[in-house]
Amino acid sequence: MYFLSRDTLRRIRRPQGYVPLILIIVLGLSPLIVRNPFYVHIFVMTFFYAAMSGAWNLIGGFGGQLSLGHTAFFGIGAYTSTLLFLNFGISPWIGMWAGALLAALTSAGIGYPCFRLRGPFFCLATIAFAEVLRILAIYWRGLTKGGVGLIIPSQPSPINYMFGGKLPYFYIAFALMIAVILVSIGTERSRWGFYLRALREDEDAAEASGVGATRSKLYAMMVSAFVTALGGTFYAQYLIFVDPDIVFSLHFSIQLAMLAIIGGVGSVAGPVIGSFILTPLDVFLRGWLGGLYAGVSFLVYGLTLLVVVIIMPFGIWVWLKGRYHSTLAKLPEISLRPAPAGVAAAASIEQPLAAFGSERRRERLLEVKGLSVSFGGLHAVSDVDFVVREGEILGLIGPNGAGKTTLFNLITGFIRPDSGQVILDGRTITGVQPPNKICRKGIGRTFQLVKPFNNLTVLENVMVGGLSRSKDVERVEAESLAIVGLLGLADYVDVAALNLTLSNRKRLEIARALATKPKLLLLDEVMAGLNPKEINKAIELVKHIRGQGLTIIMVEHVMKAIMSLADRIVVLHHGEKIADGPPAEITKDRRVVVAYLGEEI
Amino acid sequence: MIQTILQLAINGILLGGVYALISIGLTLIFGVMNIINFAHGEFLMLSMYITFWLFHLYGVDPYLSILLIMPLFFLLGIFVQRVIIQPILNAPHIAQIFATVGLSIVMQNAALLAWKADYRSIRVDYGISNIKVSGLIISFPRLVTFAIAIAIVMGLFIFLKETLIGKAIRATAQNARAALLMGINTKRIYYLAFALGTVCVGIAGGLLAPLYPTFPTVGSFFVLIAFVIVVLGGMGSMVGAFLGGLLIGIVEVFSGFYIDLALKELFYFIVFISILIFRPSGLMGKRGLAR
Amino acid sequence: MRSYFIKLSIVILATSFLMVPLPLIAEETVKIGCLLPFTGPLALEGKQTWEGINIAADMQNDRGGIWGKKIEFVKGDTTTPDSAIAEAERLIKVDGMKLIVGGYSSSRTMAASEITEKYKTVFWITTAVAGPITERGYIYLYRYNAPSGYFGAVKAQFVHDVIAPKLGIKPQDLRVAIIHEDTLWGSTVADVEQPECEKLGMKVVVKKGYSAKAVDLSPLIMTLKAAKPDVVLITGYVNDTNLYYRQCKEQDFNMKAFFGSGAVIGHPEFLEAQGKDANYVLTLSHKAVDPKRLSPEGRAVQEEALRRFKEKYEVANPGSLHLVGFEAAWNLFHYVLPKAGSLDPEAVRKAALEFDKPYNDSMIGIGCKYAPPGHPKAGQNLRAQMFTQQWQNEKLVAVWPEAIAEAEVMLPMPTWDERKKMR
């Protein structure tokens, strides 16, 4: 796992590492100073909500799926461990794992059909699921005692997960919070974290780069549900009373999301900050103002939420992060002995693309036979046949609307064909979906309108592609650096993609596709929008890539590029292939001329 | 037996009319601006309170007070759009949802502060009157509500289809950028859409007041049903919201009688989830909810 | 010379104005904690209980307070059960409260009572209905009202003893329907009503729960119509009970007797919502009983309390929660604390256990004697009871038990058509 390496020790020596560590230790020792149980209770609740919100953040923030139904998992956790304890005498310490597993499975059941729903709709679906559970909890009185709720008789003892004093609860909540923080850090730095970030940026581009959208999100959802359920057991044991309105409460779901949002959604620190500010605030407001007039404290709370969301929609952390890091930069590093200079990067990869086009040399790398698809009455692609040989550059041209991009989409798994076959390297891949599977089989592609992961850096963009081939983040980082260099983007390694010029974004798109180590690269109008100088450079680049052993299909309108690059050209018109041959032949072909220029000439 | 089924059907349809009325404003806003307004229930609550105070202090008949509420809520819609919705139109989904959640909390508690938690009922004779037709009972105020719901749906439908502004609204709903390029002042359209949606819910409040008491959290009883209906009917479709409302009303009443009233929410949530999964564009919607 | 004296007198006058407020600031008060849901879904019930407690405090303060000091409350808001814990902790550990009044909502009371018992703080519960509250053997809590099991048993008994004969139907032939809202309140009462009715030989033809947040109860009413009950027993909250009754009229569903539990039907809101149609409806709850049945002391307290409710809160007809809040608090402020001599929990406990109040000294006709430690219901007011009342001529009158009855029960209820003709 990522942290147990020597790397962790290196990290701790830096202020970014030891400052949080010191804070955690101080926090952990605080009960020795703050003895008043009221304040200890505030800490307990703060840790608890930080943990729960952090768990939510795994799917809501990192995964980008706004769930407002997390109370479902919370309730499952609370009820499972409590029922096992009351009916079978099983210690909640054991029961809580059962609850967590059940919650994780339930979350998969909810997530799988619902992930493809857009933001607000996914949100509503999760609310509905949680409500269903709440109603069932009320209705199944035989099991849950319905609205009456379950009382856990007070028998303090460690085995019973019940304690007389507050301190044990403090430490359990603390441990839960730390665990969630560690899981979040691990997620952020792991391959899985990359995937989730890429998915949040652009799901199609991520799929094309080998990221399994459903798989990644499911994973995040299940971990999130698992931890939330553990929290449910904790709460049940703290309150020693469980009823449907408490543990299946929409308000609770909203609270979890709210804390993360105010603190900074999608970051590790966000939920923690959110909880540390809002939980005590809630308690104090109620203490101060609650006595005044009913409703004032919540009014203030609601106004705070409104203001933060409108002014700082990405949360407080985004605003704070800069200051935090610049303050830390002023602190010294703890050095024991001089660390060896970054070794990893030096393992430079001379031929990053060398792994391609090896093994069997097949004449026909890609075969397309009789491929067709219609949308309503429109025959977008109609009975298209062609072959691509290994190592060649095939040009795919035709007037606008001829079906070129649709053809790409058919080959790469974005659309299912109505009929026909696509055979890659001797194996049929017709209709294989989702697109990430095609990517893993060795086809990489770019998009006509470039789809970079805007908020990721150039390097991170490319790494997403690379991670489809290897789980080793460090190695992928090194390989990606090399590819970035190859495509002339070395100066922009840490620049966010959205800040690049168009021509650089196109290079980035290609770099990302190359990182997936494809056998076949599909380029969709990479020359569009480039000035003549940039076009020349791009032509050189494509030649170089082919020289490294890749096979390329390129859709283009820029004739100069096609003529100088293509070994063969296929011409599409109204979805049908009308010509197929070397460039010289194609330019003279009457049908092609007519297609482009019309009959009269 | 037939009698029972017919009575259930009548009850279901009329109840559906109430639900539909509440949802119409929401689907309009949803359709044009893609915003889920979690504070929708609170607008309903506000309208009910205004109706109550007009009745209690000045003896204004609830149905008449709707005439006063309409312009008031139009202005309210514009105000909320300006202050809260406009700034978050391009914010991430999360921020949009939570802005309206925040608004909902603020409104609920402002109401609690101003008017206390007591239940306020309006007692008018026609509030519980009914019409008896060959042994079947039709609730009068619900019939009125139903009729007005139809009127509003038809009115909006014609407005959106035939008038220039209506078409501009539809254009903006379908593709805001293109509409902008065609010279439509999309910002004004958003104001109009939100204001219209708010007026609809204002009318709903006035019609609901004789049927149901008002208190600060009354909105939360209706808001989830409204969302279900909007999705069921197809985002942005008035007719869809109406039909969706009827469907939910009927499902609720029939399942409440034949199975168990305690499970009624269960049934329409199951309907809701099924729609989201199997037919995301809803009954009438043209725009898919899937990516 | 003169100007000097003028200046001096001005200075003296000025400083004397400054001095006057000081003794008031320094005046000592008796600080008592108050845990109630002031916000959130139960805010209304919390407010009413609070008003009752407040009137009791005002009355005692006007009599010189407790031990010569005025009563001052430190509020804790139990919006949610975990805030109940936080607030209880705060009141005890930060604000130093040794005595807490309040309750309402069983989940919150259960949670808070764990804290109060742990820190040996007296928790003077005015209202909370869950049976288990006083079944844990806790010795620092004292609950004034009757638990929900009581409601169920008494209602069943009343149906058998009074309603059946009045309707001229033998109990074995009587058809009873039980409907209830589905949280702890409704469920626990209904769960006792059903077996009790059946034990007394009556037929329970329907027992159904519904959500208190329901917007439409017509399917329930149609189910009832099909079952043709004679008597309908309901346990709900104000909102749903009103909705139910309204829809009964709307759907033309006639009941021969309609009997509710607790603060709901007696609530002025019920009358407000139903008008004349409220007449003939029965409820088992509290009310300010007929002064003729009370002792002189009881009468005096009642007269003053009712007057104050009207003056301070504009409540002309205090509901059950107002009354119970008042009574429980009044017992504490007027009898128990003065006897205890201080806020020391042990002294308060002793005084509480010794407290013995006959029913006719109480403005709501309920005596008080707390079960001692060791008793299976330790901490419960064993004299807690409720009275059956009926709306007659838009007034709520007590009809049972005999000792405080003001009028005869009027049954059967007229049908909706008959009511229309009566206007």
- Look up the domain containing A563 and give its range: 364-597
Minimal Cβ distance to C44: which of B117, B121, B257: B117
Contacts of C249 in chain B (CB under 8 A): 128
C-beta neighbour count of A574 within 10 angstroms: 16
> Does residue A225 sit within a domain?
yes
- Domains (ranges, CATH) in chain C? 149-289+387-422 (3.40.50.2300)
Contacts of C153 (CB under 8 A, 6+ apart): C192, C196
**Is A464 a member of any domain?**
yes
Q: What ipTM is given for this predicted complex?
A: 0.86
Residue type for position C80 = T
Give me the number of domains chain A comprises. Answer: 2
Query: In sequence order, what are the residues at sequence separation of 6 or more whose Cβ sits closer than 8 angstroms to the Cβ of residue C331?
Result: C144, C355, C357, C368
Tell me if A306 and B265 make a contact (CB, 8 A cut-off). Answer: no
Per the document, the length of chain C is 423
Residues of chain A contacting B, Cβ within 8 Å: 60, 66, 68, 113-114, 116-121, 123-125, 127-129, 131-132, 135-136, 138-139, 203, 254, 257-258, 261, 265, 293-296, 298-299, 301-303, 305-306, 309-310, 313-314
Q: What is the pLDDT of residues C31-69, one digit of tens each?
A: 999 999 987 778 888 889 999 999 999 999 999 889 989
Residue A306 lies in a domain: no
Q: Could you give the number of structural domains in chain B? A: 1
> A111: Cβ–Cβ under 8 A, 6 or more apart, which residues?
A59, A65, A217, A218, A221, A222
Same domain (yes/no): A394, A265: no
Residue A373 domain-assigned? yes
- B252: closest CA of chain A, how far (Å): 14
* Partners of residue B117 in chain A, C-beta under 8 Å: 294
Same domain for A64 and A209: yes
Residue A295 and residue B110 in contact, taking contact as beta carbons nearer than 8 Å: yes
What pLDDT sits at residue C13?
A: 53
Quick one: which of A244, A232, A224 has its CA closest to A80? A232
Nearest chain B CA: its distance from C258 CA (Å): 18
As given in the structure block, the two tokens for residue C267 are 């609530």
DSSP bridge partners of B138? B131
- Kindly state whether residues A390 and A245 are assigned to the same domain: no
Q: How many CB pairs under 8 A join A and C?
A: 99
- Which of C75, C186, C211 faces A290 most closely, judged by CB atoms? C75
Q: For residue A35, what pLDDT is reported? A: 80
Of B97, B102, B231, the CB nearest to A306: B102
Q: Which of B5, B11, B48, B261 best probes binding to C when mutated, by most C CB atoms within 10 angstroms?
A: B261
Residues A242 and A369 in one domain: no
Domain boundary at A257, A281, A305, which?
Answer: A281
Nearest CA in chain C to B250: C219
In terms of C-beta density within 10 A (0-12 exposed, 13-18 middle, 19 or more buried), how is residue A496 classed?
Answer: middle
Q: How far is CA C255 from CA B138, B206, C177, C284, in A?
A: 20, 31, 10, 17
Q: Which residue has the tokens 């998915």?
A: A199
B234 vs B51 pLDDT, higher one: B51
Residues 6+ apart with CB under 8 A from A503: A529, A530, A534, A538
Contacts of A129 in chain B (CB under 8 A): 269, 273
Whether C187 and A239 lie within 8 Å, measured CB to CB:
no
Contact C86 A294 (CB under 8 A): no
Tell if the CB–CB gap between B289 and A293 is shorter than 8 Å. no
Cβ neighbours of C223 in B, within 8 Å: 257, 261
Q: Which helix (H) or strand (E) holds A568?
A: strand A568-573
Which residue on chain C is closest to B251 by alpha carbon? C219
Q: Which chains touch C (3 or more CB pairs under 8 A)?
A: A, B
Query: Contact B261/C214, CB-based, under 8 Å?
Result: yes
Per-residue pLDDT at A292:
58
Identify the pLDDT of residue A601.
46
- Asked if residue B68 belongs to a domain, the reply is yes
pLDDT beneath 50, residues of chain A: 1-3, 338-352, 354-358, 360, 601
Q: Which residues touch A555 (CB under 8 Å, ≥6 apart)?
A: A396, A397, A404, A405, A408, A448, A522, A523, A524, A525
Q: Give the neighbours of chain A: at least 3 Cβ pairs within 8 Å.
A: B, C
Cis amide leading into C412 (omega within 30): yes
Which of A248, A281, A314 is the last residue in one of the domains? A281
B261:C250 CB<8 A? no
Q: Decide if A98 is inside a domain.
A: yes
Q: How many CA atoms lie within 13 A of C113 on its CB side?
A: 32
Q: Is residue B238 part of a domain?
A: yes
Residues A569 and A434 in one domain: yes
pLDDT in tens, B57-88: 998 888 899 999 999 999 999 999 998 888 88
Degrees (nearest 5) of the Cα angle B272, B217, C104?
A: 115
Judge whether A163 lies within some domain.
yes
Q: What is the dihedral of CA A407, A410, A411, A417, to 10 degrees?
A: -120
pLDDT in tens, A220-272: 999 999 999 999 999 999 988 888 888 998 889 988 988 998 898 888 999 99
Q: Token digits for A284?
A: 């104090």
Q: Nearest residue of A to residue C129 by CA position?
A: A148
> Are A151 and C110 inside 8 Å of each other by CB?
yes
Q: What SS3 state is found at A147? A: strand
Find the CATH number of the domain harbouring A414.
3.40.50.300
Residue A209: predicted pLDDT: 87
Would B29 be classed as within a structural domain?
yes
User: Are A560 and A463 in the same domain?
Assistant: yes
Same domain (yes/no): A397, A516: yes
In chain C, residues with a C-beta closer than 8 Å to the C-beta of A290 are 38-39, 75-77
Q: What is the pLDDT of residues B195-216, one digit of tens each?
A: 999 999 999 999 988 888 888 8
Pairing of strands C29-36, C70-77: parallel
**Sheet containing C141-143, strands listed edge to edge, beginning at the edge strand earlier in sequence:** C70-77, C29-36, C99-103, C122-127, C141-143
Q: Say which CATH number the domain at B92 has.
A: 1.10.3470
Does the residue B289 lie in any domain? no
What's the rounded Cα separation, in Å, for the pair A132 and A134?
5
A241 vs C contacts (CB less than 8 Å)? 81, 107, 110-111
Chain C nearest C-alpha distance from A151 (Å): 9
Same domain for A372 and A258?
Answer: no
8-state DSSP, A397:
E
Starting at the edge strand found earlier in the chain, the sheet holding C282-285 runs C203-210, C175-181, C231-235, C257-261, C282-285, C387-392, C395-400
CA–CA distance, A310 with A314 (Å, rounded to integer): 10
Single out the residue of C274, C265, C199, C202 nearest to residue C238, CA to CA: C265
Q: What is the pLDDT of residue A600?
A: 55
Residue A246 and residue A383 in one domain: no
Run of H or E including B191:
helix B186-208
Contact criterion met (CB < 8 Å) for B277 and A118: no
Q: Which residues of C touch B7 (CB under 8 A)?
A: 222
Choose among A119, A139, A258: nearest Cβ to B263. A139
C371 touching B, CB under 8 A?
Answer: no
Which residues of B fall within a CB distance of 8 Å from A254? 101
* B15/C216 Cβ within 8 A: yes
pLDDT given at position B286: 53
Same domain, A268 and A397: no
- pLDDT at position A1 is 44
CB-closest option in B116, B123, B128 to C272 = B123
What's the confidence (pLDDT) of residue C404? 82
Q: Which residues of C touch B15 (CB under 8 A)?
A: 215-216, 218
CB of C182 closer than 8 Å to CB of C211: yes
Domain boundary residue, one of A252, A281, A310: A281
Q: Tell me which residue range forms the domain holding B78.
A: 2-278
Hey, of C51, C104, C210, C215, which one would you mutate to test binding to chain B, going by the most B CBs within 10 A of its CB?
A: C215
- Residue B98 forms contact with C (CB below 8 Å): no
Mean pLDDT, chain A, as a whole number?
Answer: 85
Neighbours of A73 (CB within 10 A): 35
Contacts of C341 (CB under 8 A, 6+ apart): C67, C347
What residue of A is the nearest CA neighbor of C74? Answer: A291
Q: Is residue B286 part of a domain?
A: no
The beta-carbon neighbor of A121 closest among B231, B266, B270 is B231
DSSP SS3 for C258: strand
Read off the DSSP letter of residue C202.
Answer: -
User: At residue C182, what is the residue type?
Assistant: D
Burial (CB count <10 Å: 0-12, 13-18, 19+), residue A93:
middle
Q: Is residue B287 domain-resident?
A: no
Using a CB-CB cut-off of 8 Å, the residues of chain A touching B112 are 294-295, 298
Kindly state whether B273 is in contact with chain C, defined as any CB-CB distance less than 8 angstroms: no
In a domain, A341, yes or no: no
Question: Residues of chain C whose pLDDT is less than 50?
Answer: 16-26
Question: Cα B56 to chain center, whole Å?
Answer: 25
Q: How confident is the model at residue B288 (pLDDT cuts 50, 70, 90)?
A: very low
